[in-house]
Amino acid sequence: MASLDDYRVFVAVVEQGNLSAAARHLHRSLQAVSRSLQSLERELGVELIQRTTRRAQPSAAGLAFHARIKMALADIDLARSALVEHGGRIDGQLRIGGSTQFSAPFLVPVVAAFMERYPDVSVELVVADTHADLQREKLDATIRLGALAPSRLHARQLGQLRMVTVGAPGYFARHGRPRSPPELRRHECVVRSSAGSSQRWSYRRGTRVQHVDVHGRFHADNAAACNAATVAGLGIGVAALWQVRGLLEQGRLETVLDAWQLPPMPVHIVWSPGRQLPARTRAFIDFVAARWSAEQVGESAY
C-alpha cells in the first residue's frame, strides 16, 4: 500500500519537473524517488508521470490527481499542526493577501469575524491584483482566484466562482446577440491579457464542449477594466458573476449564451509548506474554509 511519503514524492516530481530535482528537494536518493513513484503508479494502475531522459511530464490523469492529493496532504499537515499545538494560545499578527476586487466584499467580512473570535490576533491585509510571493511579502496565507500553477505552496479549495458571458445592450443593438459559442468569432470580444488568461473561451452544454478563439481591439490586464470596457460597448466579455451582478440588475449589462456553461473559477487559500504552522495561521485557514463552506461559497453564492 502506498505511503504518505509516496504521495509526497509524486507531488515533488510534478512541481520540480524531474525525478533528480525531486530527489534533491526531498533529500532522498534518485533510486528511492523512482521506487516510490513506480509503487504508487502500480497500486493506482495509472501512469501519473510520463518520463523522458530529461523531463518527467505529468499525464492528464497525473495533473488531475496532483491537484486533489496536494490539497489532501495540506489538510494532513494542518491536522498534525493542530495536534502539536492543541490548546495553544491563538495570538499574534497575521499578514493575509487578497486581490483588489475580491477582498473588500468577501475577504474583509471573514477577517472581521475571525478577529472577533480571536481578540488577541491582529491582521494586516495586503491587497494586490498580482499573485504575491508569500516569502518575499512575508505573508502567512493568501486567497487566490483561478487555477493554481504547480508550485510548492499548500492549498485548500474554498469554492468556485460562476462565470458568465456579458455585453452591453447598446452593443447587442448594433451587432446582434450570439446564439452559439462559434458566433463569438464574428464579434468584438473584450479579452483579459494578464498572465494565465486565454483568448480561447471554452463552453459546455451537456456533453458538448466547444472552444472558441476570440479576438477584439480592447485588451486589459485587470478584471475591473475589462468589465468597464464591456459596459462601454467595446465588445462581449467574460466575467465572474459576483463582479457584474449589480451591472446586470441595473440593465447596463446583459448575459448571452445562457444555455452554455463556462468553466467555474476556483478559489483557494494558499500558504507556504512547513511541518508546523503557527497556531494563528492554522486557525485562520480552518476558519475561512469552515465559514465559506457554511455559507455555501460557490457557483450559487456568486
Domains along the chain with CATH numbers: 4-82 (1.10.10.10), 89-158+266-294 (3.40.190.10), 163-256 (3.40.190.290)
- As a residue count, the chain comes to 302
Q: What is the CA radius of gyration of the chain?
A: 22
pLDDT in tens, 59-72: 888 888 887 787 77
Helix (H) or strand (E) holding 32: helix 30-44
Rounded to an integer, the average pLDDT of 128-143 is: 83
Given this model, what pLDDT does residue 207 score?
87
The reported pLDDT for the residue numbered 297 is 46
Phi, psi of 209 (to 5 degrees): -125, 135
Give the closest residue to 58 by CA, choosing from 4, 22, 5, 24: 22
Convert the pLDDT of each residue in 231-283 to its tens digit. Answer: 999 999 999 998 899 999 999 999 999 999 999 888 889 988 876 788 888 88
* Range from 82-86, 181-185, 234-238 carrying the lowest mean pLDDT: 82-86
Q: Per-residue pLDDT tens for 190-205?
A: 998 864 455 889 999 9
Mean pLDDT of all residues in 216-228: 90
Site of grid cell 496532483: 66
Residue 56 to residue 117: CA distance in whole angstroms: 46
CB 179: neighbour CB atoms within 10 A? Answer: 10
Supply the pTM of this predicted model.
Answer: 0.65
Identify the pLDDT of residue 79: 65
Q: Higher model confidence: residue 178 or residue 74?
A: 178
φ, ψ dihedrals at 156, nearest 5°: -135, 125
Q: Which residues of 155-167 are buried (b: 16+ CB within 10 A; e: fewer)?
A: bbebbbbbbbbbb
296, pLDDT greater than 60 = no
